Each structure stands twice: as structure tokens, then as C-alpha cells.
């Protein structure tokens, strides 16, 4: 897909962000073709230097962006940031409430100079009693019920990815694209806010609805009453190779029984409907578990794929580097990580006209594009040289 044919080609975005949520908004829009300028502090975004579970944040969420470092505590750095923002179609920020307002980079100040501006603030909370609290992905998973639903009873457990940061960012993108469409009609920009806590509430809404419908609170996922009888993780002949299998319709039940020699179960009228099988789960599951332990995972997959049942091998994230589907389908993009090593990371999970958005700009080095960006907003060469020297100072 050529750069000019990407859906957001020609849209300029200025991103004041760090960690995951704000950069997630930016990387989605960047992959869709927008020119995203990432404004970093002097010496670069601290997210670049995180260790442990944070080591992958910057590489994953900052490709297809251009980097400029500006000291927002200096008059010239702040002036350059204002010029950038005033010329942008979209501004993204995810700092604590009021931080950019105090610098003259808040929505009201910028809107006064650019009525077409769309301004997206990614926060912990929308308006309400909590809105000035400090929030993190894990904090809102705990207070929004997701950790309760993920772990076993009495042991709340955060999900195994920054799901709220990322999903919250996706809602930010939805809001931005809606505001862009409105701008096409009205010529006016607007303010978009997305948040961690309200995103968590939306994700657990199905469990709230379950309580409303049944009168009983949803049990954590490890001890839930499944809507289907065969819908679980199973051991195979090789105990380190687990497999998830779901049988979610009456037709699938018949196909499953025929494929695995369980015709007597299929013929039993007591197991004819899904709800009957759910009530008989304590009888059916042990029999299926015993059967699956006699077959290797490869044998099970071959048979399940033939009959079209939903299944999944249980894999680690690092095993996806070699996943044949991702590799064959342009599902991974080549990027350069710190130290100059090449790796492949997941592409945006969208296709346009059967083409996946690809890498246009590698993960930027600190202030890699600063001088070019400053020229684009009309700064004199002497000022560019001064700001460039300051950008890399520690």
C-alpha cells in the first residue's frame, strides 16, 4: 500500500505522550498513514529506558512516527511546541490533568489559534469524582472489576498485557476519527477524551449485564459456569502441549463426536441441545479429557481443523515470531530496536483492499527528525541549531 493511498495520508498529528496509552493512539493513526510527530523531552522519552515488562513499550508503540526533542521549560522549546500544535490537525496527550494547560498547550489555548484542531486527551478517568486521581492500567483493572474476573476467587489478577492502555487508546482513535468526519461537515475541530477506568467498565459490561439478567454476580473466569459444555483447555499426550477446544453449537457437537468416535454420545437424546450438555458437563468433560490425553496436540489439531471446530494451541507471545499465519500474511513488520538489532513486531490488525499497513518509518532515534520538523514550521537555521544542541543534552 503506497504512502499516499493510506487512509490518513496528509493528516498531521503532534503527540505529547509517554508510556503506552497515548503512544497507542499515535501508532494506530501513524500506521493508517498520518504524519505523527512525537514530541519528547530533552534526552528522549523515559519510556525508551524502561526495564523488565516495560522494555517493549517504546519499540511496539512508536514506529511510523517522527521524533523531535523539545525542552518545554525553555521559551524557545515551548514556542516551537506551540507552533507545531497550532499547525496540526490533531494533538494527542496523556499527561496528568492540567499539565499541558499550564504550558499554554491545552485545548482551549490551541483552539483559539486553530478552530479545526482535534485534541485528544488520554486520561485515567473521564469527568467525575475520580478525574484527578493518578491511574495506571493495572489500577483500573483492579477497580473496574477486570482483575477480579481474570484471577481465581480471592486472587485478583491483571490481564497479561496492557489491555486497558491499548484498548483505551483504541477508543481514543475512534473518537478522533469521528471528530474528523464531523470536521468534514462542519469545518470545526473538537476535544476528544478517552480513559482507562471507563474503558475497563465497558469491557466488563457483559458481566454487569449478566448480573442484571440472572440476578447473580458473575463468577471469576477460572470458576465460571461456561455457556458451553466443551469449552476448555485440555492436556494432550505430550503434557507440555496444551490445547483449547470449543464446541459451541449443536452441529459442531455432532461433528466433534463423529470425528472422535463418540457416536454414542451424539446419539444420546440427553445431550441433544447445548443447554442439556452444559448441565451434563461434569460427565462429558472427564470423558473428553481422557480421550485427548491419548492423542498428541498435532494429531488433535489435524482432526479439529478438518471438521472446522474452534481450537487453539496454548503458546507464549515469543512463539508468535515464527507463527506461520502471521509470517505469511504480512502480520509482522520489520523494525530496528535499541542496539541496532532487527526484529519483527505485530502489524496493525487491519487490512485495506487486502493490504496490510506496513512500516514507513522505523522506530525513531531520539530527536532523529527534529531539524526537519523545525524547518517545516519556519524556524531560522540559528534557532534550529540551538534547539538541536539542547535536544540531546541530558
| Prediction pTM value | 0.94
Helix or strand (DSSP H, E) at 117: none
- Which residues are catalytic, by number? 165
386 plus 266 within the same structural domain: no
Rounded to an integer, what distance in angstroms lies between the CA atom of residue 337 and that of residue 360?
Answer: 15
Strand pairing class (243-246; 311-313): antiparallel
13 plus 133 within the same structural domain: yes
176 plus 234 within the same structural domain: no
What's the CATH number where 66 sits? 3.40.50.10540
197 plus 232 within the same structural domain: no
**How many other C-beta atoms lie within 10 A of the C-beta of residue 52?**
6
What's the CATH number where 249 sits? 3.30.1540.10
Please indicate, yes or no, if residue 328 is contained in any of the structural domains.
Answer: no
Per-residue pLDDT of the chain (394 residues; tens, 9 = 90+): 566 789 999 999 999 999 999 999 999 999 999 999 999 999 999 999 999 999 999 999 999 999 999 999 999 999 999 999 999 999 999 999 999 999 999 999 999 999 999 999 999 999 999 999 999 999 999 999 999 999 999 999 999 999 999 999 999 999 999 999 999 999 999 999 999 999 999 999 999 999 999 999 999 999 988 889 999 999 999 989 999 999 999 999 999 999 999 999 999 999 999 999 999 999 999 999 999 999 999 999 999 999 999 999 999 999 999 999 999 999 999 999 988 999 999 999 999 999 999 999 999 999 999 999 999 999 999 999 999 988 877 5
Rounded to an integer, what distance in angstroms lies between the CA atom of residue 202 and that of residue 168?
Answer: 10
63 plus 192 within the same structural domain: yes
Strand pairing class (118-123; 342-346): unpaired
The secondary structure of residue 352, as a DSSP letter, is B
257 plus 368 within the same structural domain: no
Please indicate, yes or no, if residue 238 is contained in any of the structural domains.
Answer: yes
Strand pairing class (231-234; 243-246): antiparallel
Rounded to an integer, what distance in angstroms lies between the CA atom of residue 2 and that of residue 379?
Answer: 30
Residue 290 structural domain: 226-315
154 plus 198 within the same structural domain: yes
Q: In what order do the strands lie in the sheet with 243-246?
A: 231-234, 243-246, 311-313
Q: Which of 271, 299, 315 is the endpoint of a domain?
A: 315
Rounded to an integer, what distance in angstroms lies between the CA atom of residue 41 and that of residue 123?
Answer: 20
Rounded to an integer, what distance in angstroms lies between the CA atom of residue 290 and that of residue 267?
Answer: 20
187 plus 59 within the same structural domain: yes
Q: Which of 274, 297, 315 is the endpoint of a domain?
A: 315
Please indicate, yes or no, if residue 169 is contained in any of the structural domains.
Answer: yes
Please indicate, yes or no, if residue 291 is contained in any of the structural domains.
Answer: yes
Please indicate, yes or no, if residue 322 is contained in any of the structural domains.
Answer: no
Amino acid at each position: 500500500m503506497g504512502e499516499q493511498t493510506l487512509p490518513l495520508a496528509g493528516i498531521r498529528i503532534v503527540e505529547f505522550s509517554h508510556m503506552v496509552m497515548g503512544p497507542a493512539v499515535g501508532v494506530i493513526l501513524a500506521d493508517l498513514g498520518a504524519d505523527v510527530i512525537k514530541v519528547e523531552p530533552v534526552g528522549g522519552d523515559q519510556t525508551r529506558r524502561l526495564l523488565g515488562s516495560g522494555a517493549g513499550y517504546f519499540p511496539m508503540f512508536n514506529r511510523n512516527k517522527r521524533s523531535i526533542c523539545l525542552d518545554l521549560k525553555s521559551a524557545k522549546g515551548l514556542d516551537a511546541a506551540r507552533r507545531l500544535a497550532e499547525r496540526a490537525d490533531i494533538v494527542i496527550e496523556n499527561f496528568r490533568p492540567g499539565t499541558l494547560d499550564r504550558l499554554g498547550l491545552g485545548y482551549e489555548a490551541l483552539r483559539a489559534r486553530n478552530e479545526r484542531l482535534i485534541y485528544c486527551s488520554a486520561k485515567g478517568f473521564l469527568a467525575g469524582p475520580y478525574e484527578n486521581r493518578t491511574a495506571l492500567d493495572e489500577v483500573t483493572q483492579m477497580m473496574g472489576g477486570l482483575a477480579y474476573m481474570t484471577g481465581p476467587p480471592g486472587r485478583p489478577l491483571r490481564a497479561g498485557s496492557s489491555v486497558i492502555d491499548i484498548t483505551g487508546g483504541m477508543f481514543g482513535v475512534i473518537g478522533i476519527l469521528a471528530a474528523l468526519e464531523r470536521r468534514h461537515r462542519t469545518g470545526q475541530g473538537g476535544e476528544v477524551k478517552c480513559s482507562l477506568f471507563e474503558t475497563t467498565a465497558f469491557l466488563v459490561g457483559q458481566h454487569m449485564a449478566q448480573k442484571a439478567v440472572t440476578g447473580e454476580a458473575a463468577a471469576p473466569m477460572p470458576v465460571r459456569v461456561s455457556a458451553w459444555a466443551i469449552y476448555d483447555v485440555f492436556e494432550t499426550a505430550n503434557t507440555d502441549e496444551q490445547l483449547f477446544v470449543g464446541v459451541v453449537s449443536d452441529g459442531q457437537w455432532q461433528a466433534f463426536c463423529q470425528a472422535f468416535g463418540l457416536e454414542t454420545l451424539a446419539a444420546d437424546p440427553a445431550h441433544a441441545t447445548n443447554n442439556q450438555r452444559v448441565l451434563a458437563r461434569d460427565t462429558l468433560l472427564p470423558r473428553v479429557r481422557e480421550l485427548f490425553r491419548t492423542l498428541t496436540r498435532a494429531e488433535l489439531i489435524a482432526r479439529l481443523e478438518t471438521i472446522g471446530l474452534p481450537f487453539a494451541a496454548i503458546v507464549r507471545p515469543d512463539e508468535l515470531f515464527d507463527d506461520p499465519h502471521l509470517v505469511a500474511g504480512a502480520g509482522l513488520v520489520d523494525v530496528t530496536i535499541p542496539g541496532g538489532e532487527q526484529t519483527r513486531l505485530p502489524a496493525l490488525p487491519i487490512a485495506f483492499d487486502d493490504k496490510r499497513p506496513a512500516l514507513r518509518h522505523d522506530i525513531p532515534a531520539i530527536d532523529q527528525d527534529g531539524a526537519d520538523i523545525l524547518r517545516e514550521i519556519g524556524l531560522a537555521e540559528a534557532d534550529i541549531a540551538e534547539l538541536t544542541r539542547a535536544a540531546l543534552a541530558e
